[in-house]
Amino acid sequence: MIKINNLTKKFGSHVSLDNVTCEFSKNDSVALMGANGAGKTTLIRSILGYYHPDSGNVLVNGFCPIKERVKVLQDISFVPQLPPPIKLSIDELMSYVVVSSDVDKELILHYANEMKLNIKDNINKSFFKLSGGMKQKLLIAISLAKKSDIIIFDEPTANLDPDARDDFYRLVKLNSSEKTTLFVTHRLEEVKELVNRQIYMDLGKVVSDERV
Amino acid sequence: MRANKSDFGIKNLYLIAYLDLKESIRAKWFLVYSLVFGGLIALFFIAGVTESQVMGFSGLSRLLLMYIQITIIILPIFILITTVRSISGDRDNNILEYMLSFPISLKQYYWGKIIGRFITVYLPVFFAMIIAVIFGAIKGADIPWSIFFLYTGLLFALSSAFLGIAFFISSFVKSSEVALGIAFFIWIFLLSFIDIALISLMMQGRFPSSLIISIAMMNPMEVFRVAAISLFDPELTVMGPVAFYILDAMNRALFIIFSIGYPLVLGLIFATFGFVIFKKKDLV
Ligand SMILES: Nc1ncnc2c1ncn2[C@@H]1O[C@H](COP(=O)(O)OP(=O)(O)OP(=O)(O)O)[C@@H](O)[C@H]1O
Ligand SMILES: [Mg+2]
């Protein structure tokens, strides 16, 4: 599903991804780990087509995520490392997703409810005025409602309380069959039960990649 | 079931424009912006501009002329300051990272933002004129329709020129401070530096004045200044030498078409350059 071939990405003289080659297929559930600054977020952003690589390439279902971004992103759900300060209200943000990605709004509400996020009382609130954990819950609900074949979570549980984490892992487990799931995480024990593959990165390289 | 692709295209463009418009309308700068232009008109009425007779201008035409002369100066800096950070700002605080993770083409995103922003900046200045006309009509003044339509077109062109420039800057600039600095510089440059430079050239007398005036005409702000008084009788108007020269040398209708067409095209060209850069650069 995702093929990364000899991918190198530099920022100035700093090499953030150093000749990375890697493949993720259907039913892979991956824990992507490594020290701060190892290049995990850079790798994920490359899969989403945000970076123009210095060399190498990425193919998602055979398509280049930069040239065919619409096709590629139809099949990807993504939760970023930090919820951004989006000024749209929750209602507007949901219509953005519903219209652009053909997502069922009821489904977002359903997953938000499962994440114990009270949308009704906040529907006209600006997204950036929600608490950190509430933001993350909404983004998680959206990512699950989007029903993509590829789901990418860049440390989605950073702001969640323990109960919310349990909710999150329960929902992901229910929704990850026949998919490719990537968890960027610093806490392997949390995702250990969910993943069947563990990848460590360091200094822009994949240093270990094992199936468990 | 997925709708077909072109169907999505228009829908997404509309969606982005609509959401950007809603977001802007809630923002504080928009309130200030609307108050400034609405307040300007109110002030003119209170001051009795429509009633006095000075040098042949009277009533509403005089009010509209004063309105557009002030607008030509402050609208560009308003547009530049509020827009110059739109894309670079969203990139800085990772809003783009999330919003662009949905299947929306960069074309739809960029042009949708421009359309939304255009409506935001154009409608208040346009409505202020409408209010003036309605209010003037109530007070029994004659409505100078030709001037009204000319100014509607000029404001449209003015908005697009500076919006294009602002998006162009926004597409490549790294930090918000630099963006603001560039915006301010461009404004001052077009507002006065060019004139000062050209006047000093003219006084040296080494270049034919037609050349100097053609250069002046490349400055959209100068074009607007001249176009704003183009419908008034030159005998009665106190116009600068540039305006006099141009309106004397050029067919009036042709000049009016130029004064609206040129800034529009300029804005489009800048916006398109901005898009090319936006597409070529890393998105986050
Ligand atoms: N836009 C950028 N400009 C310059 N350098 C960058 C940029 N993005 C990332 N880097 C650098 O690339 C390296 C890898 O960053 P990345 O965000 O991929 O790390 P990470 O593995 O996600 O770390 P963390 O666990 O802290 O999230 C870092 O040294 C970072 O400073
Ligand atoms: Mg990271």
Structure tokens at B44: 């003119």
pLDDT of residue B8: 57
Taking CB atoms and an 8 Å cutoff, what residues of chain A touch B280? 52
Question: Scanning the structure block, which residue is given the tokens 């509403």?
Answer: B60
What secondary structure does DSSP assign to B127-147, as a single string?
HHHHHHHHHHHHTTPPP-HHH
Work out the mean pLDDT of chain B and round it to a whole number: 87
- The ranges assigned to domains in chain A are 2-211
- B5 pLDDT more than 80: no
pLDDT at B190 over 70: yes
Please tell me what DSSP assigns to residue B190.
I
Cα separation, B50 vs B141, in Å, equals 8
Of A30, A23, A78, give the one whose Cα is nearest residue A50. A78
Predicted confidence at residue B2, as pLDDT, reads 46
| Other beta carbons within 10 Å of B40 | 18
Give the ligand whose atoms come closest to the C-alpha of residue A38. Answer: 1
How many C-beta atoms surround the C-beta of residue B276 within 10 A? 12
Dihedral sign, Cα of residue B21, residue B27, residue B33, residue B35 = positive
**Per-residue three-class SS string for B70-117:** HHHHHHHHHHHHHHCCHHHHHHHCCHHHHHCCCCCCHHHHHHHHHHHH
Q: What is the pLDDT of residue B158?
A: 95
Phi, psi angle pair for B94, to nearest 5°: 65, 15
CB proximity list for B253: less than 8 A, separation 6 or greater: none
Euclidean distance between CA atoms B132 and A155, whole angstroms: 55
Which residue CA neighbors atom 24 of ligand 1 most closely? Answer: A36
Please tell me the residue having the least CA distance from ligand 1 atom 9.
A42
Which ligand lies nearest to the CA atom of residue A32 in the structure? 1
Question: Distance, CA A39 to ligand 2 centroid (Å)?
Answer: 7
Q: In terms of pLDDT, which residue wins out, B211 or A47?
A: A47
CB contact under 8 A, A70 and B103: yes
CB contact under 8 A, A82 and B106: no
**Nearest residue to A107 via CA among A7, A175, A195, A191:** A175
Taking the centre of ligand 1 as the mean of its atom positions, its distance from the CA of residue A43, in whole angstroms, is 10
Taking alpha carbons only, the member of B140, B125, B130, B153 closest to residue B230 is B153
3-state secondary structure of A119: coil
Tens digits of residue pLDDT in B220-276:
998 998 898 888 766 655 666 677 777 777 888 899 999 999 999 999 999 999 999
Tokens of B116: 């939304």
Share of chain B above pLDDT 70, in %: 90
The structure tokens listed for A101 are: 């990605």
Q: Which of A33, A40, A152, A207 to mutate to test the pocket of ligand 1 (most atoms within 8 A of CB)?
A: A40
Domain edges within chain B: 10-280
What residue in B sits closest to A75 (Cα-Cα)?
A: B103
Q: H or E element: which one contains B275?
A: helix B252-280
Give the percent of chain B with pLDDT over 90: 54
- Residue B50, pLDDT > 90, answer no
ipTM entry? 0.95
Mutation for testing the B interface, residue in A44, A67, A69 having most B CBs under 10 Å: A69
Residue among B119, B187, B189, B191 at smallest CA distance from B156: B119
Record: contact B102-A92, CB cut-off 8 A: no
The pLDDT score that the predictor gives to residue A212 is 85
Extract the tokens encoding B96.
Answer: 């783009």
Q: What is the mean pLDDT of residues B19-26?
A: 93
Q: Which residues contact B28 (CB under 8 A, 6 or more apart)?
A: none
Quick one: pLDDT band at residue B130, thresholds 50, 70, 90?
Answer: very high
pLDDT tens for A139-165 read 999 999 999 999 999 998 888 999 999
Q: How far is the CA of B27 from the centre of ligand 2 (A)?
A: 31
Closest to B103 (Cβ–Cβ): which among A74, A83, A139?
A74
Chain B, nearest residue to A82 by Cα: B94
Q: What mean pLDDT is predicted for residues B106-114?
A: 96
| Assigned token pair, A59 | 């193919």
Ligand 1 pocket test, pick from A18, A42, A153, A182 with the greatest ligand atom count within 8 Å of Cβ, gives A42
Task: Identify the pLDDT of residue B235.
Answer: 62
- B245 CA → ligand 1 middle, Å: 59
What residue ranges of chain A have pLDDT lower than 70?
A: none
Residue B113: its chain A contacts at CB < 8 A?
A: none
Say if CB A152 and CB A77 are below 8 A apart: yes
- pLDDT tens by residue, A184-197: 999 999 899 899 99
Query: Per-residue confidence at B4, pLDDT binned at 50, 70, 90?
Result: very low
Chain A positions in Cβ-Cβ contact with residue B20 (cut-off 8 Å)? none
Taking an 8 Å cut-off on Cβ atoms, the answer to whether B281 and A80 are in contact is no
Taking the C-alpha atoms of residue B204 and residue B112, their distance in angstroms, rounded to an integer, is 48
Whole-number Å distance, alpha carbon A55 to ligand 2 midpoint, is: 21
Measured between beta carbons, the chain A residues lying within 8 angstroms of B15 are: 95-96, 99-100
Directed axis angle between helix B28-46 and helix B59-83, to 10°? 160
Residue nearest to atom 29 of ligand 1 (CA): A37
CATH, domain range A2-211: 3.40.50.300
B105 min Cα distance to partner chain A (Å):
6
Smallest Cβ–Cβ distance between B284 and the set A50, A73, A76 belongs to: A50
- What is the predicted pLDDT for the residue at B140? 79
Ligand 1 site residues (CB inside 6 A) read: A 11, 14, 16, 34, 36-42, 81
| Lowest mean per-residue pLDDT among A126-130, B182-186, B194-198, B275-279 | B194-198
CA-nearest residue to A103 within chain B is B2
Tokens for A208? 């270990």
How far is the CA of A83 from the CAs of A80, A135, A190, B19, B44, in angstroms?
Answer: 6, 6, 21, 19, 47
pLDDT > 80? residue B155: yes
Contact map slice: A 102-131 vs B, CB within 8 A: 102
pLDDT of B3: 45
B49 pLDDT tier (thresholds 50, 70, 90): confident
